[in-house]
Amino acid sequence: MVEKKKQSRKGNDNAGMTNRTKKSLVEVVVRTDDRGEWVKPDTMEKFFIDEEAVFPNIEFEFKTEVPGPYLWAWKMTWSAKVSGLSEKDRGRELKTYMDGGSITQEGKSWNARSIGKVIGGILTVTVTVGTEKFIRTVEVLAKQPGKERIVALIRKNNEPLMEKAIAQESRFKHVRDKDFQPIVSGDKGFGAGQLTKDPPTYEQIWSWRINIEESIDRLRKKRAIAEAYLKSEGGAYTPQMLDLETVTGWNGGKYHKWDDASHSWKRIGNIQCDTQTGNIGWDMDKEANTGKSEKELRERDKDSYNKMKKGQDAEHQWKYSGVCYADHLLKN
């Protein structure tokens, strides 16, 4: 059996060549885009954004007799593929993120931390040296921050609702342990905060700190909207009602509806929740659901949940419900 072995050839001008020595059992596979004589780093060397969300020191240095100045250009790309919280292989690609920049300098070394952003993926650095281009490619990944750091940041901002939401959304997990990349849900939720609508930026996805801070900011905006809504009819509402309305808005929709007869706010709609899930329920006014128990409805529909919206059809009339999400999160 021929053993394939990746190597980093410093100073290789024939990238892509294999070892043709007679009787050799090793086939050398070299990235076809890396070239030039480099002191560091190695091709596809791995670097990690640390637990505090600090971008790593990645020193690039090359060798040449050609005098400067040199044009340094960097490009970071990341293919966001569905993972969920599992450690299974990732699924379909949702989007490719990309960022880059350039600088002209006399020096033959450059530190990637100077890009000033906490992003990850495949980092390719290209240096124009006279008429040649030196290229080096590395991988930037992220370490798991851990529950304690995430909770500390949330509590510093005094947002107990956010702590409950993060526990539900990601179980305080920002990256997968298998590949050290941010978790990505099928509904385009990213990172610990599972940011979805108003798509998060590249940095909001990779930096767990920025991800949580953005989540807190969005939750506070939802609270302001909820408070204005509950004040709109002039009726009384409790802090618990405000929490329910805020959390429902975070997930999508309204929790309360004004009842003219009683001159008070009531839980919206005739909704039966699947209490074994976080945000799935049934509109009990629909003929297909009327008269059935939660157990019967769940038995009928549970196998279609993993199909997401495609699983909602005439035979399986369940739906995602912000009301059920709030009831589940706040144990209402």
Residue 135 resides in a domain:
yes
CATH of residue 79:
2.60.40
Instruction: Pick the closest to residue 76 from 33, 47, 119, 29 (CA basis).
Output: 119
- Nearest one of 125, 116, 112 to 70, comparing CA atoms: 125
pLDDT band at 27 (very low <50, low <70, confident <90, very high): very low
CA distance 174 to 153: 14
Q: What is the DSSP string of 148-179?
A: HHHHHHHHHTT-HHHHHHHHHHTTT--B-TTT
| Amino acid type, 91 | G
- Going by their DSSP bridges, the two strands 46-49 and 38-40 should be labelled as unpaired
pLDDT at 2 over 60: no
- Over the chain, what is the mean pLDDT? 89
In a domain, 181, yes or no: no
The answer as to whether 277 is a domain residue is: no
Task: Give the separation between CA 51 and CA 34, rounded to whole angstroms.
Answer: 30
Classify residue 55: in a domain, yes or no.
Answer: yes
Q: How confident is the model at residue 53 (pLDDT cuts 50, 70, 90)?
A: very high
Whole-number pLDDT of residue 17? 34
Q: Whats the size of the chain, residue-wise?
A: 332
Range of the domain at 84: 38-142
Measured distance CA(168)–CA(181) in Å, rounded: 20
What pLDDT is attached to residue 23? 36
Cα–Cα–Cα angle for 186, 191, 196, rounded to 5 degrees: 55
pLDDT of residue 197: 82
Segment 57-112, tens digit of pLDDT = 999 999 999 999 999 999 999 999 999 788 888 999 999 999 999 999 999 999 99
Q: Does residue 102 sit within a domain?
A: yes
Contact (Cβ atoms closer than 8 angstroms) between residue 297 and residue 271: no
* Residue-wise pLDDT tens digits, 299-320: 999 999 988 888 999 899 999 9
Interval 248-291: pLDDT, tens? 999 889 999 999 999 999 999 889 999 999 899 999 999 999 99
**DSSP H or E stretch at residue 248:** helix 239-251
8 A C-beta contact, residue 241 and residue 332 = no
Total structural domains in the chain?
Answer: 1
Q: Is residue 129 part of a domain?
A: yes
Confidence band of 33 (pLDDT split at 50, 70, 90): confident
Q: Tell me if 81 is assigned to some domain.
A: yes
Is 62 among the domain residues?
yes
pLDDT digits (tens, 9 = 90+) for 168-186: 989 999 999 999 999 999 8
The rounded distance, in Å, linking the Cα atoms of 16 and 31 is 6
